[in-house]
């Protein structure tokens, strides 16, 4: 039932939201440029050896689709080959692809938030969701080429979920066929994005769309089976920690779902994590049924996706430090954040209509706090990139420190040989924002 018309929207609140959207996009571009790391390190050093094997045997199928730590990421390896063969090794194609994926992700989520918002609130809702998606930890995934796969997977997964909740009606129309294709591409972006299949399947089942559910089940089972082919031993090893220590897996899940705020205090991050998990589970249980509006169903699907990724992380990462969850995974929680904002919009609208001045003040305060959070996170993001760049530069100059195995490669001698080969071939010889440091004695 349509809501009765309330008082006219606040002009200044809309102007503030629009200004913060523009500022957030511009600031994100600056943070991305300031955080960019152009020199390969860690996993990318091994990717370069993979490219050299391609140059020797010409086997593109093996080069693109052989899994790395359970991930099949042909986009990453295709862009790496393009970068080396066309641009002589700059890392800019990978960085640009990550920036594009994050931009598309933020735009889709913000657009859905604006569409779901009641008349006074489209711009504030879009601004809030955009700033949550464009947080500096997510920008760091684009700035560091070894992390762009998370952005590729998340962007295609969000696209798939939006297309799946189109206006085709029951069954399988062209939008939903495109959604299936996007879900396949999400998996080829990053294995964590495979969570899009159960999220879409649960959404179809809850709306009692049997034909669409059957299509997801058949296509998803076929694709995931092919994706996992030959990886049973690796998967068993990855999940052994969680199966033997379920409490550690639960603790990791709570720290994971609290991203990107986990690093504020990794010992206590489980507390906000528990709150977010409880709210999210309540949302997917109580909302998004067969009679729900499209925006509500889509919000619940977003939340289901991020919950699925959280479960995958708990199963696959418990063998390591269960408290210190890397920030690079935070973009996979962006759909959950957007979904919770969308589900809260009707309550925000009721508050605004009951007390316009108070509602305006709360929205303005929330948006300003999100902007301030972005600024504070940007400081740490830039510092992290500076540490990585300067650690690489020191290592290439012959300085080895305790950080070397953590930032460069677990096998420093191996990394040293690859850097020597890159220098000989004139590949990846440019870097940005290097700071002078005192050489180690």
pTM for the whole thing? 0.92
Burial of 270 (0-12, 13-18, 19+ CB in 10 A): buried
The pLDDT of residue 402: 85
Q: How far apart are CA 114 and CA 137, in angstroms?
A: 24
Q: How far apart are CA 273 and CA 266, in angstroms?
A: 11
Per-residue pLDDT tens digits for 203-250:
999 989 999 999 999 999 999 999 999 877 666 666 666 667 788 888
Question: Cβ contacts of residue 146 below 8 Å, gap of 6+?
Answer: 41, 42, 43, 44
The pLDDT of residue 119: 84
Residue 68 phi/psi, 5° resolution?
Answer: -125, 110
Where is average pLDDT lowest: 310-314, 350-354, 373-377, 391-395? 350-354
Question: Got the DSSP string for 13-39?
Answer: HHHHHHHHHHHHHHHHHHHHHHH---S
The pLDDT of residue 230: 82
167-173, long-range: CB within 8 Å, 24+ apart, which pairs? 167/294, 170/209, 170/211, 170/212, 171/209, 171/211, 171/212, 172/211, 172/212, 172/215
Where is average pLDDT lowest: 225-234, 295-304, 342-351? 225-234
Residue 440 has pLDDT above 50, yes or no: no
Where is average pLDDT lowest: 219-223, 225-229, 287-291, 374-378? 287-291
Neighbouring C-alpha atoms within 13 Å toward the C-beta of 361: 4
Cβ burial 57-88 (10 Å sphere, 16+ → b, else e): eeeeeebbeeeeebbbbbbbbbbbbebbeeee
Is the separation of the CB atoms in 118 and 349 below 8 Å? yes
Across 88-234, the runs of DSSP E, i.e. the strands, are none
Query: Treating both helix axes as pointing N-terminal to C-terminal, what angle do 74-87 and 43-57 enclose, rounded to 10 degrees?
Result: 70
Residue 2 has pLDDT above 50, yes or no: no
428 falls in which pLDDT band (50, 70, 90)?
very high
153 falls in which pLDDT band (50, 70, 90)?
very high
Where along the chain do its domains lie? Answer: 17-233+356-392
Residue 91 has pLDDT above 50, yes or no: yes
Is the separation of the CB atoms in 429 and 90 below 8 Å? no
Q: What percent of the chain clears pLDDT 90, i.e. is strictly above it?
A: 73
Q: How far apart are CA 297 and CA 292, in angstroms?
A: 6
Q: How far is residue 121 CA from its own chain's centroid?
A: 26
Q: How far apart are CA 369 and CA 288, in angstroms?
A: 29
Report the mean per-residue pLDDT for the chain.
90
């Amino acid at each position: 039932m349509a809501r009765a018309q309330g008082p006219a929207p606040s002009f200044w609140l809309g102007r503030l939201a629009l200004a913060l959207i523009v500022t957030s996009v511009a600031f994100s571009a600056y943070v991305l440029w300031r955080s960019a790391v152009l020199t390969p390190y860690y996993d990318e050093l091994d990717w370069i050896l993979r490219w050299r094997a391609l140059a020797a045997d010409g086997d593109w199928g093996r080069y693109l689709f052989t899994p790395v730590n359970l991930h099949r990421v042909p986009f990453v390896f295709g862009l790496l080959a393009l970068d080396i063969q066309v641009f002589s090794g700059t890392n800019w194609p990978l960085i640009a692809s990550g920036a594009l994926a994050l931009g598309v992700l933020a735009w889709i989520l913000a657009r859905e938030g604006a569409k779901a918002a009641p008349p006074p609130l489209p711009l504030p809702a879009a601004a809030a969701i955009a700033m949550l998606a464009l947080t500096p930890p997510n920008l760091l995934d684009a700035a560091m080429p070894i992390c762009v796969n998370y952005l590729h997977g998340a962007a295609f997964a969000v696209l798939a979920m939006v297309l799946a909740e189109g206006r085709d009606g029951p069954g399988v129309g062209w939008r939903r066929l495109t959604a299936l294709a996007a879900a396949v591409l999400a998996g080829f972006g990053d294995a964590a994005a495979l969570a899009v299949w159960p999220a879409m399947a649960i959404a179809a089942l809850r709306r009692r769309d049997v034909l669409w559910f059957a299509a997801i089940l058949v296509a998803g089972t076929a694709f995931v089976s092919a994706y996992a082919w030959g990886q049973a031993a690796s998967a068993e090893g990855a999940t052994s920690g969680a199966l033997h220590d379920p409490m550690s897996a639960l603790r990791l899940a709570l720290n994971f779902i609290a991203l990107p705020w986990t690093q504020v205090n990794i010992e206590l991050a489980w507390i906000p994590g528990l709150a977010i998990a409880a709210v999210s589970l309540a949302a997917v249980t109580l909302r998004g049924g067969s009679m729900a509006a499209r925006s509500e169903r889509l919000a619940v699907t977003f939340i289901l996706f991020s919950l699925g990724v959280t479960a995958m992380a708990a199963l696959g990462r418990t063998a390591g430090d269960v408290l210190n969850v890397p920030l690079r995974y935070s973009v996979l929680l962006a759909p959950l954040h957007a979904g919770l904002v969308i589900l809260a919009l009707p309550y925000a609208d009721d508050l605004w209509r009951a007390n316009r001045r108070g509602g305006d003040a709360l929205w303005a305060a929330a948006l300003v706090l999100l902007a301030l959070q972005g600024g504070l996170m940007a400081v740490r993001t830039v510092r992290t990139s500076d540490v990585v760049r300067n650690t690489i530069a020191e290592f290439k100059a012959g300085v080895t420190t305790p950080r070397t195995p953590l930032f460069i490669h677990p096998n420093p001698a191996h990394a040293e040989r690859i850097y020597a080969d890159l220098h000989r071939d004139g590949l990846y010889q440019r870097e940005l924002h290097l700071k002078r440091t005192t050489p180690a004695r």
